[in-house]
């Protein structure tokens, strides 16, 4: 499909279902012709080029993160009024991030590796004898939920609820294109999500244990490092962060392997290439397509005037296909020299705190899946996408497997 042949060119709308199906020709058009484009429907400026996105992310003084949760979750925010780390600026961001960094330190991750391996083996054992299953339901959703559940100290038997809550809260930003019945369910899920974590926070106060919720509660009680609302917002963010995007990372990777069987043969034969495949898959099919910032003063990006308080959308998935950084950007190439220049985890002070954890989960998961199955095929050619317009991943992914 060529956008140049379509008219009018002004119809780029990231909420549009057909555009979401294949946004890449649009991203290319934006990078070439309208690197900063005002979208009247969203009342926001899309920023499409790699260097502009990087500069925007580095300039946290010029571009505040404060509108992020309102635009992502809309009226379906389980912790309204609370300051989320991802939507805060220094000094609040620094204070929150310093606390959270500890749970994701190299040492903490090394200590988690055995548990991640055990979780993956359990999930695969549960699939014994099955040749057809939904990859997301049975594997790519329960895995990160279990891992982040261990970190937070919540029972992972509720993973189906966690997944639905996360899906429905992140879909809040897409509410304008969703039906009334779905919106009612989303409101209920946001309320249940909130209540669940209020209860867990109350438990943590009553019975201190060695988990992140207790550490956060402790930080709150010890001296003004954290407010009670901030504890709730961090729990919500970490559950969604662990649940939504890692699930999509793994599912998108399977879809990518369907399209690049020669890459699958190569990485099955040389497992040391798996980390590069994961990074390249994140570049090629980014689980977070775009996020939101607010210009704190009138400014210019790529020659376009941005008024004070305007919303701008760093479009990571477009930056990740920028031909001025990545040659043949639409092609998956695990040997490209600039593999790690992708911005799928963002950039600057907000760069994803869970990125090393996601990479470890992906590496151990693919190794275990390759060990167990000689072949993992998608059982249907097509699939629906998740509802959140700023995220990308299949809603469900039926697969057919052949054991080794």
Residues that bind ligand PIM (CB under 6 A): 72, 86, 170, 240-241, 244-245, 352, 354
Specify which residues 87 forms β-bridges with. Answer: none
Q: How far apart are the first and last CA of the chain?
A: 39
Specify which residues 314 forms β-bridges with. Answer: 47
What is the rounded distance in angstroms from the CA atom of residue 228 to the CA atom of residue 220?
Answer: 7
Six token digits for residue 223: 């001296």
| Least Å from the CB of residue 261 to ligand PIM | 29
| Least Å from the CB of residue 244 to ligand PIM | 5
Classify residue 107 by burial, with Cβ atoms within 10 Å: 0-12, 13-18, 19+: exposed
| Least Å from the CB of residue 135 to ligand PIM | 19
Classify residue 98 by burial, with Cβ atoms within 10 Å: 0-12, 13-18, 19+: exposed
Q: How far is CA 12 from CA 6, 41, 230, 398, in A?
A: 11, 9, 36, 31
| Least Å from the CB of residue 311 to ligand PIM | 15
Using the minimum distance from each CB to ligand PIM, give the nearer residue, 46 or 399: 46
Residue nearest to ligand PIM (CB): 241
| Least Å from the CB of residue 93 to ligand PIM | 14
Question: What is the three-state SS of 362-394?
Answer: HHHHHHHHHHHEEEEEECCCCCCECCCCCECCE
R_g of the chain, CA atoms, integer Å: 21
| Least Å from the CB of residue 306 to ligand PIM | 22
Using the minimum distance from each CB to ligand PIM, give the nearer residue, 145 or 263: 145
Using the minimum distance from each CB to ligand PIM, give the nearer residue, 141 or 170: 170
Using the minimum distance from each CB to ligand PIM, give the nearer residue, 174 or 318: 174
Using the minimum distance from each CB to ligand PIM, give the nearer residue, 268 or 392: 392
Using the minimum distance from each CB to ligand PIM, give the nearer residue, 123 or 290: 290
């Amino acid at each position: 499909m060529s956008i140049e042949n379509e008219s009018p060119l002004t119809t780029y709308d990231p909420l549009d279902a057909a555009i979401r199906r294949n946004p890449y020709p649009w991203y290319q058009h934006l990078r070439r012709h309208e690197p900063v484009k005002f979208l009247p429907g969203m009342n926001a400026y899309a920023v499409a080029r790699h260097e502009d996105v990087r500069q925007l992310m580095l300039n946290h003084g010029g571009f505040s993160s404060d509108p992020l949760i309102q635009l992502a979750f809309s009226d379906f925010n389980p912790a309204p009024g609370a300051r989320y780390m991802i939507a805060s600026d220094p000094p609040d961001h620094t204070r929150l991030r310093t606390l959270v960094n500890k749970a994701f330190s190299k040492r903490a991750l090394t200590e988690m590796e055995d548990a991640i391996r055990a979780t993956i083996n359990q999930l695969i054992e549960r699939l014994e004898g099955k040749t057809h299953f939904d990859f997301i339901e049975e594997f790519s959703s329960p895995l990160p939920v279990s891992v982040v559940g261990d970190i937070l100290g919540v029972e992972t038997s509720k993973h189906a609820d966690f997944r639905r809550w996360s899906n429905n809260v992140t879909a809040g930003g897409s509410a304008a294109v969703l039906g009334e019945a779905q919106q009612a369910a989303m409101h209920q899920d946001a309320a249940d999500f909130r209540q669940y974590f209020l209860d867990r926070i109350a438990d943590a106060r009553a019975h201190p244990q060695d988990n992140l919720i207790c550490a956060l509660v402790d930080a709150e009680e010890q001296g003004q490092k954290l407010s009670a609302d901030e504890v709730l917002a961090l729990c919500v963010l970490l559950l969604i962060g662990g649940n939504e995007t890692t699930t999509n990372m793994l599912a998108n990777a399977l879809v990518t392997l369907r399209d690049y069987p020669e890459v699958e043969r190569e990485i099955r034969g040389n497992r040391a290439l798996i980390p590069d495949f994961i990074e390249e898959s994140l570049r090629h099919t980014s689980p977070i397509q775009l996020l939101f910032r607010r210009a704190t003063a009138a400014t210019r990006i790529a020659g376009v005037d941005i008024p004070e308080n305007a919303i701008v959308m760093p479009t990571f998935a477009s930056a990740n296909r920028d031909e001025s950084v990545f040659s043949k950007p639409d092609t998956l190439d695990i040997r490209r020299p600039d593999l790690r220049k992708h911005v799928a985890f963002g950039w600057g002070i907000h760069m994803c705190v869970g990125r090393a954890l996601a990479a470890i989960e992906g590496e151990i998961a693919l190794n275990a899946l390759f060990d167990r199955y000689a072949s993992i095929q998608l059982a249907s050619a097509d699939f629906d996408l998740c509802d959140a317009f700023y995220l990308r991943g299949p809603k469900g992914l039926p697969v057919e497997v052949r054991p080794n």
